[in-house]
Amino acid sequence: MEERLEGGHTTEVVRVGDTVRRPVGAWTPAVHALLRHLISVGFDGAPQVLGVDDRGREVLGFVEGEVGTLSPDSPLPPWFRTPHACRAVGRWIRSFQEAQRGFRPDVAHPWRRSPGVDLGPGQVVVHHDVSPYNTVRTAAGSIVILDWDFARPGDPIEEIAWAAWRWAPLCAGTWWHAEYGIEAAEDVPARQRENLAALLDGYGADDQQRRRLADAITAQMTGHADDLEDMARTDPAFATLIDRGYADAARADAAWWAESSLRRDVDTGTTRLRWDEVRPADRW
């Protein structure tokens, strides 16, 4: 029996027993090679590749746990809202990048948003969507990141910047408050600052990465809008996302971020954004 899993905006995903079945694409061999490498070196923060079924769908191991749902009717679960979660995400990114040592992509296999290329100097494979809705917190307290379709080589700062956008989160207006479980009296800027600080602390960002962060966040926001519009030209699922305002929202976030006091702090170095300076660990 197949059970449709919620959350996929552009892909139909079903559960069959202890497995998940998803459509494949030209990028699937590149993604599977990466995931198999991660499993081979003991990295447990990604799903296990089990092959392709008789209907041509990829087969992955089902990951049991709490998912970072994001909707007004099913807001982000409490743990996912905390600096603890953001610190765990920062650690996950660091561990994921370190687990790639020795991995070399096959240049014959394209990625979804990139041709098949070798890693350039300083590059890693970037997941490109480390967001709450792609995150499972297991019973053991570890996290697993799902949906690897948009992985491709890039600068390590891209992963940190995307995660900062989606986990702090760094969004314009108030429309997102219900999805992220923001309470009416909550100090939203304080939450954003604490979560961003915890993310960077968990990753162990160095001074150079911190100086590059503000511009990298803008690039992720505007680049995402451009990607959505490009894919919408040939994929009806992405055209629907454009109709729902996803690209416009990303550009609105970029405009808000450009004027944000938090961005000015990051730009000028008036705050180090160290989590223990924002909120001592023993208070959580």
Candidates 131, 14, 127, 130; CA nearest to 62 is 14
CATH number of the domain at 157, please.
Answer: 1.10.510.10
- Print pLDDT tens along the chain (284 aa): 888 887 556 678 899 999 999 999 999 999 999 999 999 999 999 999 999 999 999 999 999 999 999 999 999 999 999 999 999 999 999 999 999 999 999 999 999 999 999 999 999 999 999 999 999 999 999 999 999 999 999 999 999 999 999 999 999 999 999 999 998 899 999 999 999 999 999 999 998 999 999 999 999 999 999 999 999 999 999 999 999 999 999 999 999 999 999 998 787 655 455 555 555 443 33
Residues 54 and 186 in one domain: no
Q: Are residues 195 and 147 part of one domain?
A: yes
Domain encompassing residue 206: 66-283
DSSP 158-207: HHHHHHHHHHTT--SSSTTTTTTT--TT--HHHHHHHHHHHHHHHHT--H
Query: What local confidence, expressed as pLDDT, does residue 274 receive?
Result: 58
CA gap 173, 249 in Å, rounded: 10
- pLDDT value at position 3? 86
Total of domains in the chain: 2
Same domain (yes/no): 276, 237: yes
Global pTM value: 0.93
